[in-house]
Amino acid sequence: MIRRFLLLIFLAALLFAVSDVNFFKSGFNFASGLFSKIFEEKVTPENLLSRYDDGTVRILIVPGHDNFSVGAVYKNIKETDLNVELAYAIFDFFNSDDKFGAFITRGKNGDYNDWFVDYFDREEENIIVFRDYLKTITSFAKETDSFEERNEVYHNPTADNVSLKLYAINKLANDYNIDIVLHVHFNDYPRRRHGGQGEYSGFAIYVPESQLPNYIE
């Protein structure tokens, strides 16, 4: 309750600050200013190479979905199971190199690993505050035309309990100075006939959206 009260005070102060017309005339990128409070450090390829030389690259691997939200399904094949299988192949690959410290959120049985469950239970209230903070500043940035909402990739709506886990992963990455977060998914795309092979194959890599301060060209 106290944290939410402090959050409201912060937002009130923020609204007061941006009510000054000179704030907008300054040419300051408002969206970048807001989101830089969340992404406090931008990790560049040069940073990663330097950390690799020091043997300190920390990677968090997130097999998409879980045993309750299984993702795409084809006959008896569930996306969540494929995600775990591929994620552990990646996990084992990085663990074979002493210069990487790899962590993975789920076990081979699909359940969340104990260390992540402990973190979520311990930090749940703070995760909710973190989520509400992000939602509030994102909405405010959109309302002031400082941040453009772009739906470049179609995605089904995410249930609240699932999205809270994703916010937890973002907060955990900040708390533990994770250099790289890899979310593993097998995705389909909207079409009439889902029973046959789709048009696309291969893989896609999604990076931070270009309006965010941790975006790198």
Residue pLDDT, tens place only, 87-102: 999 999 999 999 999 9
Classify residue 139: in a domain, yes or no: yes
Mean pLDDT throughout 189-211? 75
Burial class of residue 137, CB neighbours in 10 A (0-12, 13-18, 19+) = buried
Give the model's pLDDT for residue 192.
75
Average of pLDDT values for 174-180? 91
Torsion 140-207-190-188 (CA) sign: negative
Mean pLDDT of 13-27: 38
Checking if the pLDDT of 126 tops 50, the result is yes
Do 65 and 80 touch, CB atoms closer than 8 A? Answer: yes
**96 lies in a domain?**
yes
Compute the distance between CA of residue 101 and CA of residue 99 in angstroms, rounded to an integer. Answer: 7
Which pLDDT belongs to residue 4? 46
Q: State the pLDDT at residue 19.
A: 38
Token pair of 158 as six digits: 């995410």
- Give a yes or no: residue 196 inside a domain: no
| Strands in 27-176 per DSSP E | 57-63, 73-74, 77-78, 100-104
Its pTM stands at: 0.78
Domain housing 178? 40-184
Question: Residue 46 domain-assigned?
Answer: yes
Q: Is residue 210 part of a domain?
A: no
Whole-Å CA distances, 207 to 100, 137, 150, 181: 21, 21, 14, 10
Task: State mean pLDDT over 182-208.
Answer: 78
Report the candidate in 149, 140, 145, 148 with the shortest Cα–Cα distance to residue 17.
Answer: 140
Residue 21 has pLDDT above 80, yes or no: no
* Residue 26 falls inside a structural domain: no
pLDDT at 212: 74
User: pLDDT confidence of 109, banded at 50, 70, 90?
Assistant: very high
pLDDT-derived band at 38 (thresholds 50, 70, 90) equals low
35 vs 74, residue with greater confidence: 74
Question: What six digits make up the tokens of 192?
Answer: 């009439």
pLDDT at residue 164 tops 80: yes
The average confidence (pLDDT) of the chain is 79
Number of domains in the chain: 1
